[in-house]
Amino acid sequence: MIWVAHPTGNTFVRALLAGLVEAKSPFRFFTSFGVAEARSWWRRLPSRARAEVERRAYRLPDGAMVTRPAREMARLACQRMGWKRAVRHETGWFSVDAVYRDLDASVARRLRRAAPGELPRAVYAYEDGALESFKSARDRGVRRVYELPIAHWETSRRLLEEEARRRPDWEPTLQATRDSAAKTSRKTAELEMAEAVVCPSKFVLDSLPEAARRAKKCLVAPFGSPEGPAAPPRDDSRARPLRFLFAGTMTQRKGLADLFDAVKLLGRGDYELVVLGSLVAPMSFYRERLPNFVYEPPRSHREVLELMASCDVLVLPSIVEGRALVQQEALSAGLPLIVTPNAGGEDLIDEGETGFLAPIRSPAAIAERMAWFLERRAELGRMRDAARRKAAERGWQAYAGQILGLLESMQ
């Protein structure tokens, strides 16, 4: 029996659960709010509520999911009503941190109370939601596996503090620089208590303290690619503007300031910059820095892929990531990439075939690669095919299979 704990059950958690189901490996999934996909009651909700619940629907065996919904439902309600104090970073009673800690404490209690025959052989948990579970697991002789979806906090903090000094006007968007000493100490303790660490990219693995890399089993299990939309016919002539896409939270952690500067350096009008993502500052903040971009608000995964199919190139000049899923989503939609090594997808780039790498903090390098596409539109058809082939090389089954192999080796 494996216990998997994650409050929101994102794409890579779902892939692991699907792998456990396919392998017929017994497991329990602990989450904050979730519903069985097979149930029908939630499909009769009003469209807005139905869409929110659908994001938390799981296709799992009966009895495999254990939920603790109260705090997460309150968080969503407070966000909807604009009660910012209740969801304030770390300190809000219904903050994301509070939801993570609440689920972690609940799993820990279950471990302490479980009869010997009911104990799992391993607990699989994630950054910010593992400490209490790992303590109880250690005390009960249960193995502990930790997934770190983004670079280790010390590396992230160093890079983002450098950004705050380099681009002080964008500092308010660098949310991770505000983590308290208590939160970072918790992250350190989680890593120390883990017996194995799963990383989605070499960048994340290299970000770990050297002592952790030596002492623990470390596995690089890259995320998988989705099935892309059907390839629409495209006009690659100069009759239409080339569409460059940025997709992600609109923060300098993802290099948006550098992309805006790159656009200014281009100094031409035969393209569009499409920015898809969540605002972390008023829209006026972004328009003051670059007036002419096309803004697209967040949307469902299916709708993101549809938007990608109308674009030509993904640009993601991230300063800190784990392995940005949007890279493989873009490849699956036929978009070559302009990304930094710190986006965690260095292995996805075959230079001149699936896209280009650019160094971090280099608007000039980004502009140079954007100009390459603008001058060589005839290459786009070939590169679209190469992008789709690259995406198909790495599926979610491979990701789950690597983790299941790790868990098997720890019996």
Q: Which pLDDT score, from 0 to 100, does residue 13 have?
A: 94
| Residue 138 or 34, more confident | 138
Q: Locate tokens 């230079």: which residue?
A: 351
Q: Which pLDDT score, from 0 to 100, does residue 275 have?
A: 97
Mean pLDDT confidence for 228-240: 73
- The residue extents of the domains of the chain are 2-224+396-409, 242-392
- Per-residue confidence band for 42, with pLDDT thresholds at 50, 70 and 90: low
pLDDT at 47 over 70: no
Domain 2-224+396-409 has CATH 3.40.50.2000: yes
pLDDT at 262 over 90: yes
Q: Give the Cα separation of 391 and 395 in Å (integer).
A: 8
Please write down the long-range contacts of 134-138, taking CB distance under 8 Å and 24 or more positions apart: 134/190, 134/193, 134/194, 135/108, 135/193, 136/107, 136/108, 136/109, 136/111, 136/112, 137/111, 138/193
Mean pLDDT confidence for 150-168: 95
DSSP H/E element including 215: helix 210-215
Q: Which pLDDT score, from 0 to 100, does residue 40 have?
A: 65
Three-state DSSP class for residue 50? helix
Mean pLDDT of the chain: 92
Mean pLDDT confidence for 221-245: 83
pLDDT at 411 over 80: no
Q: Which pLDDT score, from 0 to 100, does residue 353 have?
A: 96
pLDDT at 193 over 70: yes
Mean pLDDT confidence for 150-163: 95
Q: Which pLDDT score, from 0 to 100, does residue 44 have?
A: 66
Q: Are 238 and 375 in contact (CB under 8 A)?
A: no
pLDDT at 54 over 80: no
CA proximity to 317, closest of 353, 364, 284, 282: 364
Q: Which pLDDT score, from 0 to 100, does residue 256 have?
A: 98
Q: What angle do CA 316, 320, 321 make, to 5 degrees?
A: 75
- Per-residue confidence band for 239, with pLDDT thresholds at 50, 70 and 90: confident
Q: Which pLDDT score, from 0 to 100, does residue 36 have?
A: 81
Q: Please state, as a whole number, how many other Cβ atoms lie within 10 Å of the Cβ of residue 262.
A: 26
Q: What is the pLDDT of residues 208-224, one digit of tens each?
A: 999 999 999 999 999 99
Distance of CA 191 to the CA centre of its chain: 19
Give me the architecture of the 242-392 domain, per CATH: 3-Layer(aba) Sandwich (3.40)
Q: 2-224+396-409 and 242-392: same fold?
A: yes
CA proximity to 141, closest of 371, 339, 411: 411
- Record the tokens describing residue 375, joined without a space: 């001058």
Q: Give the Cα separation of 167 and 118 in Å (integer).
A: 53
CA quadruple 34, 35, 37, 41: dihedral sign: negative
* Alpha-carbon distances of 110 from 3, 26, 65, 115, rounded to whole Å: 11, 17, 14, 10
Q: Are 358 and 365 in contact (CB under 8 A)?
A: yes
Mean pLDDT confidence for 227-233: 73
DSSP H/E element including 275: strand 271-276
Q: Are 409 and 198 in contact (CB under 8 A)?
A: no
Q: Give the Cα separation of 195 and 406 in Å (integer).
A: 11
Q: Cα torsion for 316, 317, 319, 320, to the nearest 10°?
A: 20
Q: Give the Cα separation of 58 and 65 in Å (integer).
A: 9
Strands (E), 69-130: 122-126
Q: Which pLDDT score, from 0 to 100, does residue 234 have?
A: 75
